[in-house]
Amino acid sequence: MQPDSAALVVRPAVLDDLAELVKIDSICFAAGIAYPDNELAALLKSRSVLTLVAEASGRIAGFAAMGFLPSTAPSQSILGELVTIDVLPEFRRQHVGLRLHQALLERTGLKHGDRLQLHVAVNNPGAFEFYRRLGYKRRERVPRYYLDALDAWRMEKLL
């Protein structure tokens, strides 16, 4: 199925989506890195995380979540943490991920000067390129970020 961008509907995730999102996450990430049901449920319920889904013809093609971290100093801009972006393999390279990221920025009220960060596994070059394309810059390598074994790049984007 090829969603054209007009046919793609982006909406906030609801708890009824949980089973589908758990399934998608388990397809997108290796066991142990994929979120267990209870952690995804916590994301959906959290008031400091916005989770959006992208639907093509009523089927969820992907989802993305962004959380808000308390700023550490009054002068610092709010830091949003891109928690995850998951796009099902058959919907990849059709700008579903770009649409989800853009929708997160629009719906979270982030503004010029705000900073975003994310972590991406060092063995995930496709996602690294995706984030580079979105304007994230590689910062430091975080040892054993995933499963106390796999390093991650921390990346930042200044809006």
Question: Applying CB under 6 A, which residues contact ligand COA?
Answer: 28, 84-87, 92-98, 120, 124, 126-127, 129-130, 133
Shortest CB 17 distance to ligand COA, Å: 16
Angstrom CA distances, 37 to 43, 112, 127, 153, 156, stand at: 10, 35, 23, 25, 28
What whole-number distance in Å separates Cα of residue 101 and Cα of residue 87?
A: 12
Query: Which conformational region is residue 29 in: left (phi greater than 0), alpha (psi within -120 to 50 degrees), or beta?
Result: beta
In this complex, which beta carbon is closest to ligand COA, that of residue 28 or of residue 44?
Answer: 28
Shortest CB 51 distance to ligand COA, Å: 13
Shortest CB 47 distance to ligand COA, Å: 22
In this complex, which beta carbon is closest to ligand COA, that of residue 13 or of residue 120?
Answer: 120
Shortest CB 75 distance to ligand COA, Å: 29
Q: Which residues, other chains included, contact 71 with Cβ-Cβ below 8 Å and sequence gap of 6+?
A: 77, 78, 79
In this complex, which beta carbon is closest to ligand COA, that of residue 103 or of residue 110?
Answer: 103
